[in-house]
Amino acid sequence: MTIEVYIMSENRVTWISLSKTIALILVIVVHSTPRDYFSGILTGFVLPAFFILYGVTHNNDKHRQEIKSYLYTRLRSLMIPYVLLTIAMVAIYTLCYPFVDFGLTPMDFVYWSFYGNGPPDRVTHLWFLRTMFLAIVLFSLVDRYLHNRHTLFRFFLIGITPAIGVSFKTLLGVDLIPWGVDAGFIALSFMMIGNEIRRRHQMAKWTTSPLPDGLMIPISIVLFLVLTSINGFVNIGASTYGNSVYIYIITGLLGTYFLNVFSYHATKLSEKASSIALKFNKYSQEIYEVHPMIIQINIVFLGGLSIWQYVTIYPGAPLFIVNISTSILLSWIISAKIINRSRYLKFIFCGWGIIESKPTPPQPEESLQPVLDIPIVVPVSIDEKISMSEEALTNA
């Protein structure tokens, strides 16, 4: 039984890791393409997949009791990289400004960086770290104080939180909400959706049997494509919700559904895919933080070459293949071979030094059991055992 449970747990972790790996690769694809129909389709689900899977994998019972310790851990792992990398970007921008005109003065860039990770039309990828932390804080508070409410009430919260997020833009009358508070509420809705799935199915596979899957997958893909075409490009980090934030909620759930079904079957068919996913996902945060730098370097040093006029594969993105391949491979190598071998870089990109261990939340006092005395076992001969058994039967 123990071996069976372990194998089931490993399978769950593997397909979830593959889903996250594919989603991260698709994020890199979005960052390597112009804002067009194809990137609009991808933005319909790639980031919602991370939020939903967070809700699916969140251990409510464990973290609910030690919420301060849990949020401290998340604060370090998300907000330390967010702050330090933002400062690094400001420093690099200031140093390069005398040589390259980016359209903003260094002081303007400082203002926009701390306002919302860049001006409305150039929000950097670091917004995701801040939004993830804000959503986790909101989610943890909701789970701590409202977890035992009726299911309909929780569904009401899922439905109203995106509207709360969008309302900030209307109330403030600005194009970019300070600190991405709107994105935090939208992400919260996805997390709660994922956690409702966990309440009913734990981390079980999202597939049932060939016949239902054969019907549901094509239907969900068609519906997803129709809705993403209607909604258009979405970037909640830049306060861009498409035509409707609720269409975004639906496409995020549909896209995560067929992504998870595909990942489960892929891990069943290929052990190599499972192994690669586990290794890649181990450095997912560092890869996410590093890959835009690779893309920018490619644009600066390779963008002006005339060869791209003849080998362009993706219209509007002459460096598409170069950006995809180098962003994935170099970011992975830098994360595994450089960042994770330096205490200081590990702290900058992950919030923890290489030899530091994340604190283990203390166990509740009521779970501690008193130590019992071990009884002394006295050897007894076979004849004595038989005699004792007969005496016990006689007394019975």
What tens digit of pLDDT does each residue of 276-321 get?
Answer: 888 999 999 999 999 999 998 888 888 767 676 666 677 777 788 8
- Better-predicted residue by pLDDT, 83 or 355: 83
Both tokens assigned to 135: 């959503």
- The pLDDT of residue 366 is 41
Q: What is the pTM of this model?
A: 0.84
Domain boundaries, the chain: 2-289
Q: What is the mean pLDDT of the chain?
A: 85
- Which residue, chain included where needed, has tokens 């926009």? 112
- Are the CB atoms for 104 and 112 separated by under 8 Å? yes
CA distance 244 to 95: 40
CA distance 96 to 378: 82
CA distance 27 to 127: 14
- 78: Cβ contacts below 8 Å, ≥ 6 apart: 129, 130, 132, 133, 136, 351
pLDDT in tens, 160-199: 999 999 999 989 999 999 999 999 999 999 999 999 999 9
3-state SS assignment for residue 317: strand
pLDDT in tens, 230-253: 999 999 999 999 999 999 999 999
- Are the CB atoms for 238 and 272 separated by under 8 Å? no
Largest CA-CA distance found in the chain, in angstroms, rounded:
102
Share of the chain above pLDDT 90, in %: 61
